[in-house]
Amino acid sequence: MRLLFVGLLILLFVAEHSCARCDMSTTARVREGNLRQSGVFNWLGVLKVHLHEGTNFKVAVSGIVLIKVKYALVNADDVVRVPKNVLESDSLAVFLAADDTPWSVAPLSYMTHPEYEYSTLNTIAVLELNSDDAQDYPLNPICFPEAMFNTSGFLYLTGYTDENRVLEKVIYKILYLEKKVCEEFYNRAGLSDAKRAPTAYVCGFAPYNGTHCVWDNGMVLVSNATGWFTLVGFGVRGPGCAAPARFIDIFQYLDWIRTATAENVPMYDAIEDYRRDDSHKPFV
């Protein structure tokens, strides 16, 4: 009787984790550099938008990270530039579902974090994806941190590069820096601009490789300190891979992300509820 009881407890624990369906693979023991069109980290994607300007058209791309079957995070200032009709009809969220196997899904709508209107351009938005219509859904959302933990020894930045004219994944080791190192760097370099500073961020730099590169919006700061890779930060453009860089600190946004992606809350209502709730009060 006792044995059975223990067995059940273990089962429940595992079930609770698999229920979240996040990517707990620990096989992603990756070396730094270009991963080509690898299927590893299949939560890593891009929002691809076809913009028509008169007779010309161009493709705009912004990094996204899949956080739930139907939702991804995207840079707020990038997604608000996409007209609603273009988002619905001329855009795709593209992922590498497996090695050399692109998979795409249409975006439906987005919701920016309320601070976008009041404090900073560099914040997150939640992008809703039309995953309900997808057959054989192949992706695994990234895992979220369940508690604040010391990630400093195991930080990596991953995202896409087009250095070979196709979208390929890259990964760099990141060394953690105190926030004040970032502040001093941005002040000294004349880059401090309150409208561009994330309200909460993790600071770090790529020590080994990156003298000639610049981070893009939507690169993903991850840590494998727990054994598998969890989401720590969301990258914003600049200032150079070897320089102290700011990554939006996802831990500070977990409550809002949970509200914004609650399946039974229409997106518009979620943001109104959030504004009505006095306890947040960051926007004075």
Ligand X SMILES: *[C@@H]1O[C@H](CO)[C@@H](O)[C@H](O)[C@H]1NC(C)=O
Q: Which stretch binds ligand X (CB under 6 A): 25-33, 36-44, 112-120, 267-275?
A: 25-33
Q: How far is the CB of 210 from ligand X (least distance, A)?
A: 7
Q: How far is the CB of 280 from ligand X (least distance, A)?
A: 27
> 119, 282 in Cβ contact below 8 A?
yes
Residue 150 interacting with ligand X (CB under 6 A): yes
Strand partners, 46: 63, 94
Nearer to ligand X, 98 or 175 (CB): 175
Residue 25 interacting with ligand X (CB under 6 A): no
Q: Which of 21, 32, 39, 88 binds ligand X (CB under 6 A)?
A: 32
Q: Which of 9, 117, 118, 153 binds ligand X (CB under 6 A)?
A: 153
Tokens of 269: 């209502």
Beta strand 245-249 with 201-205: parallel, antiparallel or unpaired?
A: antiparallel
Nearer to ligand X, 29 or 188 (CB): 29
Alpha-carbon distance of 236 to 244, in angstroms, equals 12
Q: Which of 224, 237, 238, 242 binds ligand X (CB under 6 A)?
A: 224
Tokens of 155: 């930080």
Residue 54 interacting with ligand X (CB under 6 A): no
Q: Which of 227, 263, 278, 281 binds ligand X (CB under 6 A)?
A: 227
Alpha-carbon distance of 195 to 192, in angstroms, equals 9
Residue 34 interacting with ligand X (CB under 6 A): yes
> How many residues bind to ligand X according to rule CB under 6 A?
15
State in Å, rounded, how far the first CA of the chain is from the last one: 59
Strands (E), the chain: 33-36, 44-53, 56-68, 71-75, 91-98, 101-105, 107-112, 124-129, 155-161, 168-177, 201-205, 220-223, 230-235, 245-249
CA 211 to chain centre: 24
Residue 37 interacting with ligand X (CB under 6 A): no
- 136: DSSP letter: S
Residue 165 interacting with ligand X (CB under 6 A): no
Q: Which of 1, 5, 10, 29 binds ligand X (CB under 6 A)?
A: 29
Residue 164 interacting with ligand X (CB under 6 A): no
Q: Which of 37, 130, 209, 259 binds ligand X (CB under 6 A)?
A: 209
Determine the 3-state secondary structure of 254 from DSSP: helix
Would you tell me which residues interact with ligand X (CB under 6 A)?
Answer: 29-30, 32-34, 150, 152-154, 170, 208-209, 224-225, 227
